[in-house]
Amino acid sequence: MGGEEFVLFLRNTTVEIGQLIAERIRRAVADHIVWWQGQTLGVTLSLGVCGAPPVRPLELLFEMTDKALYQAKRSGKNLVFLCEE
């Protein structure tokens, strides 16, 4: 989506399963050692997860998910937050 943001669509997936997948991705990235210019770097992710009922416009889905993402960032980063329905 942006310079440091990306979107992952998971079809036929509940919000709860989406949250579990997001948490697994977050942990895998946090546990991965990144070497750069002879140093180790810690990399973290902040994620927003939102469900998409068929009647929800795509623009609203992006807006809601973006709010959850920024809530995760404001709450200390390296977190997964669900959309407020």
Respond yes or no: is residue 4 known to be catalytic.
yes
Mean of per-residue pLDDT scores for the chain: 88
> What SS3 string covers 21-56?
HHHHHHHHHHHCCEEECCEEECCCCCEEECCCCCCC
Euclidean distance between the first and the last CA atom of the chain, given in angstroms as a whole number: 22
What local confidence, expressed as pLDDT, does residue 1 receive?
Answer: 60
Strands 47-49 and 80-82: parallel
The answer to whether residue 3 scores a pLDDT higher than 70 is no
CA distance 52 to 11: 9
pTM, two decimals, is 0.82
CA distance 47 to 71: 9
Each residue of 7-28: pLDDT tens digit? 888 888 888 999 999 999 999 9
- pLDDT confidence bin for 40, thresholds 50/70/90: very high
What local confidence, expressed as pLDDT, does residue 61 receive?
Answer: 87
Mean pLDDT across the stretch 67-78? 90
